[in-house]
Each structure stands twice: as C-alpha cells, then as structure tokens.
Amino acid sequence: MFTQIKRLAKKSKPLVVAYYIYDDWRTRRNFEKGDVQTRSGSTHSKKTLQESLEYINVVFDDYVNYSGITPEHILDKQVLEVGPGDNFGVALKFLASGAKRVVCLDKFYSKRDPERQAEIYSALRRRFEGSERDRFDAGMNTGGGVLNADKVRYVYGVGIEDASGLFEAGCFDFIVSRAVTEHLYDLDAAFNSMDKLLAPDGYMIHAIDLRDHGMFTDGGMDPLTFLTVPDGVYHRMSYNSGRPNRQLIGYYRAKMAEMGYGSKIFITHLLGVEEMILPHMELSKLNGGHIKAALPRINKMRPSLQPRYRKMSDEDLMVQGIFLVARKPASNPSDTNGSGG
C-alpha cells in the first residue's frame, strides 16, 4: 500500500514540490549542525569492481580526449578535481600520468567504504606498469589505501565558490569536474574562484548534466517540468540540497565569452534521445534526426515554462547535457608555452 502511495505521489507535481521543499529544509538544518556527509556522491557504492574501474577510465579519458591534452600537458602539472565523490581513482590516474599533485575538493563528505576503496585502488594499480605505477604508488601511503596528502590531498566542507582563499592564486593547471557544476548555486562566484586558481593557459574541463536528476522524470513527467516551477519555489526545493541549478547551455556559452576563455561545448545529452550522444559533438554537428526528436516536446511544454525559459531557442532547450572545455588566456599573448600546454 505504501509503495503504491509513494508511486502516486511521484506523479503529482504539487506533492513532488512539497517533498523537495521539506528535504531541502532538512538538508540545511543538518549542514548547520555540522553534518556535511552525503550519499549523493557515493557513485562507487552501487558498482561492481569492474564497473568502478570502467567509470574511472571513462571519466579520465573524457577529460583527455575532448580537451586534446597529451601526457606532455599533464607532466609536472597541478590538478584540482572538484567533487570527487567517494573515490579518488581519477586523481590517481592524473598522478600516474605525470601530474605533480592533485587536490580533490568537495563541499560535502561522501559516504565511502574504506575496504571497498582499497580494493578499487589495488585493481587500478595493476593496470599500470613502470613509471606510471611508481607515480601511482607515490600517491598512496604504505600499508593500506590511505592517500599521501603530499600527492593527493582531500579537502571537504568548502565549496569551489569559496575555495580561492584556500590556495595560492594561479596554482592549478587543470580544474576538472563531472556532474558537479549543475549543483552550484552561485555559478558566477564559482567561475570567478576557478579563474583565480587557474594558471594562465590552464584548462577548465567540466561534464555538466542539465537534466532534472529525476526530480519529476522519476514519476514519468516531462523532462522540462522542472523548468515550469517559479524561481522562488524552486529555490526552496533545491538551494541547500544541491539539486540542479537550472542554468542551461546558454549560461556557459556566455560565461566563457565574458571571461575571455577559448572554449568548446560538446553535447552529451539531448531531449527526446535516451542514449548519451557518443562521441560527444558540438551543437552545429548534430544531425537533423536529433533535433527532430526534441521539437515536439519543446513545442508542447514551452507555454508552461517559466518566462526566461520560454524565451530560449529550441536548440538551447533541447540540450540536456554538455562537456565544456575552456582554456584561460595566457598572461602574455606572445607566450604560447604557458602552464596549460
């Protein structure tokens, strides 16, 4: 009976809104009490060992392949990974590939199983040989899966918006994240902070999920339903709990232009297309079939959208996920050998 009620509640927009308002209030209260632990970043708790290894490799390979960086770009560089979640495998991959140091920053502490993490690191280590394995080993303390903070440092309880005061300006050559940026509620402050921390010629590389993360779609509602909720109400549903901030592709395009960064935006997900777009591609390179699948839903939902979304182009509304690669200008335009490559 309870399961049926819960299922019906998910299909009711007012009940979904009410639940998330309560849950956001509860999250704020917990954070005020000093409880910064979360289950939302526990990616690997639900994966098999093989799935965890595949996930780590895909995340790292995406950073490398879509940015076009080479091992020479990474050698002796410093990396900031924003939102590592419950595993530091990607950080260790950067280290094995030649990075000097990786800092992993998270506002919340993700629940993790130390034995499970040690198992993942041990299996990951077996995939390296020679100097790569030596560099990987340098990231671990002898005797048990504990990170060597001189090589991989974990900082939690501070969001990227406030991180520029923790580190020296321009000290990172790469700032990377996956499924994190969409949870930030002061994106201008976040990008300003990253800009201060990033060295000239450095790279920002962010995989950004622009979907509703199941808030309404888990109940079978349209993927654009979350864009119909008034801003004030949505703020109360999501601000403290880090649910999607509803900034779409146009924000990132404009922000990179404002900052003077050279950038490319690859599309990872589209409205009306169930599968991830592989390989990720720029909007101009999508085929007509992709666009045709999205238009009926946009036309149906547009009258119900909040005014700022209602005014957006079909193309901006249909993009449900992006991979942003942006490069900071060199401090000296004539210097092409800066710290980013």
Residue numbers in the chain where pLDDT is lower than 70: 1-8, 35-42, 142-145, 332-341
Six-digit token string for 312: 């957006």
- Over residues 198-228, the pLDDT tens digits come to 999 999 999 999 999 999 999 999 999 999 9
The answer to whether residues 93 and 60 touch, using CB atoms and an 8 Å cutoff, is: yes
pLDDT of residue 88: 95
CATH code for the part of the protein at 2-327 = 3.40.50.150
What gap in Å lies between CA 104 and CA 166, rounded to an integer? Answer: 13
pLDDT at 139: 93
- Cross-strand partners of 281: 267
**Does the pTM of the predicted model rise above 0.95?**
no
Q: Which of 245, 247, 280 is nearest to 265 (CA)?
A: 280
Q: Which two tokens stand for residue 60?
A: 């790292």
Q: Where are the domains of the chain?
A: 2-327
> How high is the pLDDT of residue 43?
72
What residue spans of the chain are helical by DSSP H? 2-10, 13-32, 49-67, 71-74, 89-96, 114-125, 130-138, 187-197, 231-238, 249-259, 288-301, 307-310, 314-318
Note the pLDDT of residue 109. 85
Give the residue among 303, 271, 185, 188 at the shortest CA–CA distance from 234.
185
Helix (H) or strand (E) holding 175: strand 172-178
